[in-house]
Amino acid sequence: MNPTLNMPGAWAAVRDVPPSLSPVSLNKTLYVAKLSDEFSMTPEAIPGLESVEDVMEHFKPEVGVTLEDEQGGSSYETFQFRQMGDFSREGLVEQSKLMRDLNRKILDLQKIDMQLRSNKLLQNALLNAEARLAMLEMIQQMLDEIEQAS
């Protein structure tokens, strides 16, 4: 056998695979990552962990990250992973106040963008300088009223 094919990382199809190992099915994903800030010097075999939920419940993986807000300030947040959904965008956003606030702003801006693209009356008003100025004054008055009320 070619010695370069026997090194770690060589394609399994190219080198001999022991019969006790079966390849991961094509419809499955093997995910390997460091999911904790803790470091273990020795591998740990835990009997009885038969599902992803069991593994998550036993190890309680979490990771601390520093996020940057809109003004450039930093915010330290800890993300906990208790189910596979916690790895999704929604799972991460749900755990972070900063990300929830930014997500809300993004959704608001997307709604405004959709209105600007689909509302012909608004588009025509924005093209007319007088109408645009009147709209800006009206919006400013509404903002002032909201500010006074709070």
The DSSP secondary structure of 32-92, one letter per residue, reads ----BS---SS----TT--SHHHHHHHH--EEEEEEE-TTS-EEEEEEE-SSGGGGSHHHH
Q: How confident is the prediction for the chain on average, in pLDDT? A: 82
* In contact, 62 and 36? CB cutoff 8 Å: yes
Structural domain tally of the chain? 2
Two tokens, residue 90: 């929604």
What is the pLDDT at residue 14?
46
Domain enclosing residue 107, as ranges: 3-118
Is there a single domain that holds both residue 60 and residue 128?
no
**Intra-chain end-to-end CA distance of the chain, in Å:** 77
Is there a single domain that holds both residue 83 and residue 150?
no
If one compares 37 and 58, the residue with the highest pLDDT of the two is 58
Is there a single domain that holds both residue 46 and residue 109?
yes
Confidence bin at 21 (pLDDT 50/70/90): low
Is there a single domain that holds both residue 57 and residue 22?
yes
Is there a single domain that holds both residue 32 and residue 99?
yes
Task: Give the span between the Cα atoms of 73 and 102, in whole angstroms.
Answer: 14
Q: What is the largest CA-CA distance in the chain?
A: 81
Is there a single domain that holds both residue 100 and residue 143?
no
How many C-beta atoms surround the C-beta of residue 87 within 10 A? 14
Is there a single domain that holds both residue 79 and residue 96?
yes
What is the pLDDT at residue 56?
87
Confidence bin at 84 (pLDDT 50/70/90): confident
Is there a single domain that holds both residue 57 and residue 97?
yes
What is the radius of gyration, based on Cα positions, of the chain?
27
The closest of 41, 76, 46 to 59, measured between CA atoms, is 46
Give pTM, 2 decimals: 0.60
Confidence bin at 114 (pLDDT 50/70/90): very high
Is there a single domain that holds both residue 75 and residue 10?
yes
Is there a single domain that holds both residue 20 and residue 63?
yes
